[in-house]
Structure 1
C-alpha cells in the first residue's frame, strides 16, 4: 500500500511539474554559462562600453552588425576599412567550450527566428537545410513594395520593419517610417504604419521589437536628441497603444550617432552601434564606429510607472 501511495505522489509531482509554466530561467537552461557567453567578455553595468575591445571593436576598422544567434554560440558583425575595402561579414563561433577567431561568412546582418532556423534580411528570408542555408527567397506581400533596411520579429510572428522610398537617383528619403504586419490565418496582413508617437523625426530606422511586443526600440534623428541619430523606446500599453517615444538618455545617446539597437536572445543586454563621420584635413571623410553594450535594465528603468 505504501508503494502505491509513493507512486501516486511521484505521478502527481511529475504532473504538477509538467503543468508549471516555463520561466525565462528554464528557457535559458540550454545556453552556455554566463561566463562563456558574449565572447567571454565581462558584462557591463548601466553605462555602455565598447564590446570586445581588440576582438570586435578596434581602432583600425569600422565595425557594426552586432547579432548573436538564438543559442548565443555565433556572433555576427561587419568589418570595413584597412584591408577590408568593402564591408565584410564576419562570424565568431563558440565550439568545444571556447570562442574561436573571426572568419568571413556570406551571412550579413542576419535577423534570426526564435528557433534559429530562419534568417530574415530586408524583405527576403532563407531557411536552414541539411546542407547549410537555402538561397534567399522573397517574403512576398506586404514586404516587397518598399525598401526595408531593418526588420524584426516577435515571438508571435509579428514583423516590425522600417521602410524608405528611393528617388530616381536611388537615394532614400530622409524620413522613413516603421510599420508592422501580423499573421492571421497563415497570411500576413497589409502593413500598418505606427503613429506619430514613433514615426516623428528623420532617418526613422532599425526597429527592434521585444519578444513579447512589450516595447519597441529604434533610432531616429529628432529635435530633442543629443546630436546625430539617437535611440528611443516606446512601451506598448494594455490596450495596444504605444507610449510617447522616450529618448534613452545621455548614457546611451551622445553627440555622435547611435543606431541599430537590439537585445541579446537571453534578454540580458542591449547592443547598439555608436560612431561618427571623421573629416580629414584634405576634406575627405569616412565613418568610424564600434558596437557597444549595456545592461538591458536600462530599458525597464524607462518604463512609465503605472
Structure 2
C-alpha cells in the first residue's frame, strides 16, 4: 500500500476552524444555561424520589453521550447504568423496573429504537426523562419531564454532524449529576469510596497502617549503644534512620542520615559517640489510623523523610517518604 500523501495545510484556516467549533459549542452551552428552567428541578426531584436506579438510553452519538452520563451519575452518588435502546428492544428491557427512572436521549426526539421501547417503559411504570432538541417531538411529548437541549447550529460546516448538540446533551447530563450530588450531600470521601483506584481515593482512604513498614522491619536500637553499632543497624534497615527505643518499645528518639551528616560536619568522633548523644529526642510520630495523606503533609511541612508510627505510646511501625510514593499517595 502506497503511503498517503498529506496535502499542505493552511495553518490560519485550520486555527480558524478550530476556534469556530469551540465558539459555536461554547455559545450553545451559554444558551442552554440561560434557558434552564424549573423543569430541570423536576428532573432532579424525579431522580431523587426514585427508589431504583437511573437507566440512560439512546442510540448512535446520543448513545455514546448516554454512556458517559450514566458513568458520571454512578460515580457521583446516583446509581445508574446505560442500556442501548436497540438492545433494550431485544431483551434488555428486563433490566428496567417500576422503581427506576429512564433518561432517554435523542436530539430529534424521533429515533425509532427509542420510540419502540417507550410503550414497555410506560407499562413498567418507570418515570421517563427525555433530553431532546425538539420539544414537540414524540419522545418529548411522551416523557414525564422534558429537558430542552436544542442548539442553534452544529459546529459542522454542513450543520449535519452532531457536535454542538452532543456537547449540549453531555453538559445537561453533567448538570444533573452535579445537582444530584449537591442535593445528596455527596462529599469527597463518598467520591473516594467509588474511586478507590484513583488518586483521590488513595489520598482519602489510605491509612498509615496500609503503607507503613511494620514493627519487625523498623531499624531500632537502645539509646546507649555505640553510634557505630547504630549506624550498622541503620544501614541494614534501609530506611535512612534508626529509632531509639526503651525495653517497652517506647520511642525515645530518632537518628537519621541527616543527623549523621551533621555529626560529621561538626567533627564528632563516631567511635566514641552513643546513639543517645546524637539522636533527636523529639521525633515526629503519627498514629497508624491517620490518613497517609496527613502523614505526607506533615513530613513535607517538617522537611523530613521518615516518621515513626506510634500506637498507645509504643512503636508499631515507621514511614519513609518512598513508602508514600510507592502507594501513590504523593
Q: What TM-score, normalized to structure 1?
A: 0.20
Q: Which has the higher helix share?
A: 2
Between Structure 1 and Structure 2, the one with more strand by share is: 1
Greater Rg by CA = 2
